[in-house]
Chain A
Amino acid sequence: MELDAALADEAVAAYEEALGCFEEAAKLGPVEEPGPVLHFNRCVRALTTHPELVRAAAARPQQRLDLGG
């Protein structure tokens, strides 16, 4: 799937939000529940293997990469 630069940037932002949520869920959920880690890793794979997302992530200003906490 090809994305234009603006859409790719939005997708990266959404994946990063998702990473934060799954990380939080992993802390709060039962240890035997693998869902949050599996979805976290799925997001990481998308961000690190989809060429347009890799490009968009590299181009993002640093302050927007802070997930907050």
Chain B
Amino acid sequence: MSYALKPLVARNLDAALALAKHYRDLNQPEEAESICRDVLAVSPNAEDAWRTLGLALTDRFPVAWMTIFDEACAAFAKLSSEYERAYYTGIAWERYAKAQLESGRAHNAIHAFEEALERFEQAEKFTPGDEPNPILHYNRCVRALTTYPELVRASGVPHQPEYEFGD
């Protein structure tokens, strides 16, 4: 039996995206990812779909960071706002750092948190209005780097990050 995807009709896209967000809220990122890909198949420039897809991919970092980090960053790179590109790429690095930390790779986590800090600092420059998120995430990364015993310990030991992006 062959399996083939069905196209969404254009007027269903908003409802589909709402469902994708709902599945993310239910901690079912693979469902959300599939829906975003369905929306993007019909509307390749749908920014909300790229944003939600990128976030759904970051939800899976704790179990699949090796293969999907680049894909998440590529989704965020599709966003037209300079602020959003920097901010969401910062989110990807921050979540990647947490996944690294949970898997016991403290040096990689430090490197990833530092990348996140740079992105949040960059996002802060382009922040629209009173948006506090870049500063909040920046401070969260700083707190992790300065209070998690594994990170504090590892930061005193020189080390080259080791990444396994798979293939």
Contacts and interface: CB of A to CB of B under 8 A. Distances in A.
Contacts of A34: 8-9, 12, 15-16, 19
Interface size range on B against A:
10 to 19
Interface residues of A: mostly helix, strand, loop or mixed? helix
Interface residues of A, number: 21
Contact of B1 (A16, A33, A35, A40): A16
Interface in B21-70: 30-31, 34-35, 37-38
Nearest to A37: B6
Contacts of B9: 31, 34
A32 B31 contact: no
Nearest to A62: B1
5 contacts: A32-B12, A41-B34, A42-B35, A45-B5, A57-B3
